[in-house]
């Protein structure tokens, strides 16, 4: 059984799946459904909402377990580091990262004349029109932009090819309990 928590103050949140920004009022009862990727997904009597890491302290009686800001690295940039970073991004409704969900279609890394890097990612969503797409893409972009020597990071949402459940990796299938 999930534990009920209360918001101690008005709390900025994102409605799921519309992606609309709003404020949940102080005193709202919430049930935590997911804490992956550094954000908190909560259920209220009004539906599901994503609360960003920086606002998680507004949930009384809850402490977001500290996760590293990203994958361990030695300060050196690599394409593998970008992939590992993308694996820290989650759809707030699904407990599988966007890479293992099969949402990332392309990753392009280029070195700039100054020796820095530009990174462009093409990703899709599990459903066209999902309002959380821009939120997930921005989460990925911010995490990539914070990597060593990344000068520019862009994440584009694409629809071709259309995502199908068969794109989920073997490890993602295990998490979801599908074979």
Q: What's the chain's average pLDDT?
A: 93
Asked if residue 165 has pLDDT above 70, the reply is: yes
Rounded (10°) angle between helices 79-86 and 133-145: 140
Average pLDDT over residues 18-26: 96
pLDDT tens across 70-104, in order?
676 777 899 999 999 999 999 999 999 999 999 99
4: left (phi over 0), alpha (psi -120 to 50) or beta: beta
The most confident of 20-34, 57-71, 74-88, by mean pLDDT: 20-34
Strand pairing report for 104-111 and 117-123: antiparallel
Instruction: Compute the radius of gyration of the chain from its Cα atoms.
Output: 17
Average pLDDT over residues 42-50: 97
CATH for 79-176, among 3.30.300.130, 3.30.230.70, 3.40.50.10380, 3.40.50.720?
Answer: 3.30.300.130
Sketch the domain layout of the chain as residue ranges.
Answer: 4-58, 79-176
Asked if residue 1 has pLDDT above 60, the reply is: no
State residue 145's pLDDT score. Answer: 97
Please give the full DSSP string across 58-121, using - where no structure is assigned: GBTT--PPP--SSS---S---HHHHHHHHTT-B-TTSSSBTTTTT-EEEEEEEE-TTS-EEEEE
């Amino acid at each position: 059984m999930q534990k009920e928590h209360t918001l101690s103050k008005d709390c900025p949140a994102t409605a799921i799946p519309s992606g609309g920004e709003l404020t949940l009022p102080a005193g709202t009862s919430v049930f935590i459904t997911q804490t992956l990727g550094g954000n908190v997904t909560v259920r209220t009597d009004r539906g599901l909402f994503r609360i960003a890491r920086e606002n998680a302290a507004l949930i009384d009686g809850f402490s977001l377990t500290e996760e590293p800001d990203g994958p361990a690295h030695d300060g050196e940039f690599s394409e593998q580091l970008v992939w590992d970073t993308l694996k820290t991004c989650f759809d707030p409704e699904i407990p599988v990262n966007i890479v293992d969900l099969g949402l990332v279609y392309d990753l392009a890394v280029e070195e700039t004349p100054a020796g820095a890097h530009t990174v462009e990612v093409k990703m899709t969503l599990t459903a066209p029109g999902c309002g959380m797409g821009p939120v997930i893409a921005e989460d990925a972009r911010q995490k990539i932009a914070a990597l060593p020597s990344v000068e520019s990071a862009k994440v584009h949402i694409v629809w071709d090819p259309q995502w199908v459940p068969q794109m989920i990796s073997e490890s993602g299938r295990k998490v979801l309990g599908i074979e």
